[in-house]
Structure 1
Amino acid sequence: MDESADAPLTAEIAAHAPLLRVLRLTRNVTRAAQELGIPQPTASRRLAALGEHLGAPVIVPEGRGIRLTRAGELLAEAADRALDVLASGVRQAREEIDPQRGHVVLGFLHLLGRSLVPRLLRDFRVAYPHARFSLVQGSRQDIVERLRAGTIDLALVAPPPADPDVEAVTLAEEELFVSVPAEHRFAGRGHVRMTDLADEDFVLLEHGYGLRTITDDLCRRAGFTPAIAFEGQESDTVRGLVAAGLGIALLPKFEPGTPAGVAEVPLAPRVTRAIGLVWPVRHPLPPAVAAFRDFVGDRAQPVT
């Protein structure tokens, strides 16, 4: 197939890719034109020109709006991807000129926002005072999915995923404790075993959180399924429910000190989780992102 025959259409799509992208979302030529700041007749002429180059219409009327034809959908999808790639290239080019003013989109677990993330950002900005960060919080599953989708650059999660599409370095091994109400019978113990917890009510994070996966796995290995009293999305909420006497939970040690109403009891044998910085391997990282990755890597050990 002679690819040069498609060159005129490719050039036309490149020129009007933003229109296709917006039209794919709005399904309305007038609104798409308004969002792009162009007259509606101009948008209509551009769409008609695309159809002429293609040899078939890219839109057809539907109700009070329009819908993309199958061919139009294919072109809009391609335009959408191309604009994302171009935006990434522009970003890398700008940061290549001035990496000190780069932008890093960092995803992390809610629990890590208490001390680890602020400490890393503070120390990094000593060397890169003009670096900008966008911070995205969520569950481990959510953060890893966003990393794979390319909407975040780097992720701090626990534990790092075993995935050939990403690389990781471990920042720390964090010990987990059994958080119980202060008046609980386990509160004064030097340690407890997982088998001791079989008859307890648990307060758990929802599925998709790393601590939930670890807790379920530890209970399974101990030969029981945890009785779930409550499920939450943040560790502080879980601790609050524990303090209210509504159950127990497996959590990292609270910093800077044990919260009121809660006792933190070590597990025997000791249980830890790895906290890792993760990044995609499919494309080169922008300079500022790579600089932050390397900064963290200097303080970490490779995942094995």
Structure 2
Amino acid sequence: MRINYDFSDLEVFLAVKETGSFHQAAKRLNLSQSAVTRRIQKLEIALDSVLFERTTRAVKPTLAAKRLQSKAEAILEDAQETTIAMRDESVAFAHQRGAVITVAIVPTVVARLFVPAIQSFRNSGFETRIRLLDSSANEVAENVASGEADFGVCSIPTLEPSTEFTSIFDDKIVLALPASHVFAERDAIGWNELEGTTLILPARGTGNRLLIDDTMAQVRLSVIWSYEVNRSTTALELVEAGLGFALLPHSVFQSTVTKNVVTCELKAPKIIRPIGLLTRVGQSDTPAITALKDAILWAV
């Protein structure tokens, strides 16, 4: 069954019922008397019931009107409560979004970029809470593209047309090796010298691994890895235990304290991973998000 009346019709009905007058109801609702009459007629047609007996002296509610009154009041009260609740939730959501910044970031640049940036951000007077989604570059890109993060800091340039990448600095991939190894005294090591060594590589499909595989293909080097790990910190622990060499971003050594591990640069071709801000195209930032982005850009 189709309902052919709305909340405004019920409001007019209650005003006429309470005032006993079409004229007084019109004044209360700031409507013309003809508009009140039309709404009552519309309601009567929709309910197939006469609601008021009109005479030149008075407007008397019918039995149908008396039955409708409590139901109309309940309907309007419920609608009002729903409207208030929805508005409160919207305000709460807007406040929460403004009070929390979600940043997706690769863990290896937290010490170099994020720590000094957040210190500057706090010194500027911002007390906004910050949620860090520290994960791989692929996941950072996905979090930004999906809107899960307000922006990201990662090593993967734009993969989606909905995102854009702003470069901050270039991070070299270096060789981490035990301090006791004969190579530890070298300033640089050639790629061909890695043949026959025990290598610890990032997991396949990660941003760092893609860069490493591309370079190995370029120098026609076929190296068999012995260990494959997801986290740079795990690779360092293996190196520290003397289990092999790891190819890692230089920024890792600014965020992790290691014992008995040294780094050597790799001879040409060098591997450089670009670090930058990843944002959604057309996104409207709050002042706090803008300030945090600026602090990260100036933290280098």
- For the aligned pair, the TM-score class normalised by the smaller chain equals 0.5 to 0.7
1:23-55 deviation per Cα after TM superposition (whole angstroms, max 9, x unaligned): xxxxxxxxxxxxxxxxxxxxxxxxxxxxxxxxx
Aligned to 2:238: 241
DSSP-derived class of the 1:186 partner: helix
Asked if the contact 2:233/2:256 (under 8 Å) is kept, the reply is no
1:234-259 deviation per Cα after TM superposition (whole angstroms, max 9, x unaligned): 21110111122222111133137973
1:216 aligns to 2:213 (yes or no): yes
DSSP-derived class of the 2:291 partner: helix
Structure 1 residue 162, shift from structure 2 partner: 4.4
Asked if the contact 1:142/1:208 (under 8 Å) is kept, the reply is no
Aligned to 2:284: 284
1:74-93 deviation per Cα after TM superposition (whole angstroms, max 9, x unaligned): xxxxxxxxxxxx99985896
TM-score (normalizing by structure 2): 0.62
1:263 aligns to 2:286 (yes or no): no
Structure exhibiting the larger radius of gyration computed from Cα positions: 2
Asked if the contact 1:216/1:226 (under 8 Å) is kept, the reply is no
DSSP-derived class of the 2:189 partner: coil
Number of aligned residue pairs: 213
Do the aligned partners of residues 271 and 88 (structure 1) sit closer, same or farther apart at CA in structure 2, a change above 3 Å counting? farther
Q: 1:181 aligns with which of 175, 178, 183?
A: 178
Asked if the contact 1:92/1:286 (under 8 Å) is kept, the reply is no
Aligned to 2:191: 194
Q: Distance in 2 between matches of 1:220 and 1:182?
A: 28
1:230 aligns to 2:259 (yes or no): no
Q: Which runs of 5+ in 2 are unaligned?
A: 6-86
Q: 1:102 aligns with which of 99, 102, 105?
A: 99
Aligned to 1:250: 247
Matches within 5 A, 1:15-34: none
Do the aligned partners of residues 275 and 244 (structure 1) sit closer, same or farther apart at CA in structure 2, a change above 3 Å counting? same
Structure 1 residue 134, shift from structure 2 partner: 0.6
Displacement over 6 Å in runs of 4+: 86-89
Deviates more, 1:226-235 or 1:283-292: 283-292
1:262-290 deviation per Cα after TM superposition (whole angstroms, max 9, x unaligned): 22111123433211111111442334223
Asked if the contact 2:211/2:271 (under 8 Å) is kept, the reply is no
CA-based RMSD:
3.1
Structure 1 residue 169, shift from structure 2 partner: 1.8
TM-score (normalizing by structure 1): 0.61
DSSP-derived class of the 1:136 partner: strand
Q: Percent identity, please.
A: 24
Aligned to 1:152: 149
Do the aligned partners of residues 171 and 233 (structure 1) sit closer, same or farther apart at CA in structure 2, a change above 3 Å counting? same
